[in-house]
Amino acid sequence: MTNAPVIFAELPAASGKIGHATLSVEATLNSLTLEMVDLLQARLDHWRNDDSMAAIVIDGAGEKAFCAGGDVQALHASAVKTPGGPCEYAEAFFAREYRMNYTLHTYPKPIICWGHGIVMGGGLGVMAGCTHRVVTEKTRIAMPEVTIALFPDVGGTWFLNHMPGSTGRFLALTGASINAADAIYCGIADRFISHEHKARVMEQLLAQAWSTRTAENHALVRGVLRPFAGQSAEACPAGQVEPHLSVINSLCDGDSIHAVIDNIIGVQTQDAWLSRASESLAHGSALAALWIDRQLVDNRHHSLKEVFQSEIQLVTNIVRHPEFAEGVRALLIDKDRNPQWQYNTSRDVPAEVLDGFFTAPWPTNPLADL
């Protein structure tokens, strides 16, 4: 089944087995579809109940991307099909994607994610939920949802709120690109390993005498990855987030979200990374900037389960609103990069409009049973 969008293998080890799942749609940078989400969920459920399955590896086909996110064009098609009303495909996709990501976060067995190349949106949701997250010299991570009027979802609310200082807020508002060193500093990756070592890492994983005890298997994974990380240390790129942390904290220190947005958009700098971040927010949706920030603030002390339940509520309201469809149209459909946002600035957004995105659109939350 080499044409399957996710390729699965069960690899015999010295004792026990390793499950291997490869996202395999190179033409779309391995972007997730509903079919791929369902395939992953079914296989994760099966492997969890297989006592011979000791650990799992998730990677992406090709050299360009682990996963560039969800298939946003399919989500756009669903949103414009029933403007203002329920979007059958989009809402099913998000509900099942979030459930699959929650499965990853709470999975008892070791899951190694090889996050090589582009890791964005839904791809970051997958990687963040794994227990042993490897990044490489080519890893490029971003959460640019403000540019299409979405928000950093699939657990973004959780891991952004756990980043150092105001980093999570800054990355969510600006969609700034980060690398492997940044991912480790921010807590969304665990080890840097040069991509050239991938085959040897797999060989070592298969050489292990796996246990029936989960804690011992996690230790075995760490024992395999640690020396390769040590050998790779000098190849790790210089980070952007840690050197900029004091500036990030200063820019995000405002008396209101409007002041924070003003600070970031108005920053005067010759620093290329900060400048790109500022421009991204300036050209993004002012409405989206508000719901991004409120989602983080409202859920800063919530459990993982509560975070996913709140995210499905927000995203359902977003895909039913025309701002999302317009953002995707401008960036990915017509590619004119000239979205006609509904509000020029964050201060123009009526309070009741923003409140509407945080009101349940259905009697029962689709993730109420997590």
Neighbouring residues of 188: CB distance < 8 A, sequence distance ≥ 6: 124, 127, 128, 133, 141, 159, 163
* 156 is known as an active-site residue: no
Measured CA to CA, the distance from residue 324 to residue 331 in angstroms comes to 11
Single out the residue of 169, 141, 174 nearest to residue 275, CA to CA.
174
Say how far apart CA 117 and CA 138 lie, in whole Å: 5
Rounded Cα distance between 156 and 40, Å, is 20
Burial 303-323, CB ≥16 within 10 A → b, else e: ebeebbbbbbbbbbbbbbbeb
CB 21 within 8 A of CB 43: yes
Q: How far is 176 from 120, CA to CA, in rounded Å?
A: 11
Catalytic residue among 59, 71, 145, 323: 145
Sign of CA dihedral 322, 328, 331, 336: negative
Catalytic annotation present for 196: no
CA 37 to chain centre: 14
Partnered with residue 178 across adjacent β-strands are 141
Place of tokens 């459930």: 99
Q: Which of 71, 153, 182, 190 is catalytic?
A: 153
Largest CA distance in the chain: 63
DSSP secondary structure string for all residues of 151-179: -S-TTHHHHHTTSSTTHHHHHHHH---B-
Question: Which residue in the list 70, 123, 155, 175 is annotated as catalytic?
Answer: 70
122 is catalytic: yes
Query: How far apart are alpha carbons 115 and 60 in whole angstroms?
Result: 8
Q: 70 an active-site residue? A: yes
Among candidate residues 122, 155, 168, 175, the one labeled active-site is 122
Q: Distance between CA 124 and CA 188 in Å, rounded?
A: 9
Torsion of CA 261, 266, 270, 272, to 10 degrees: 30
Count CB neighbours of 212 within 10 A. Answer: 11
Residues that are catalytic: 70, 122, 145, 153
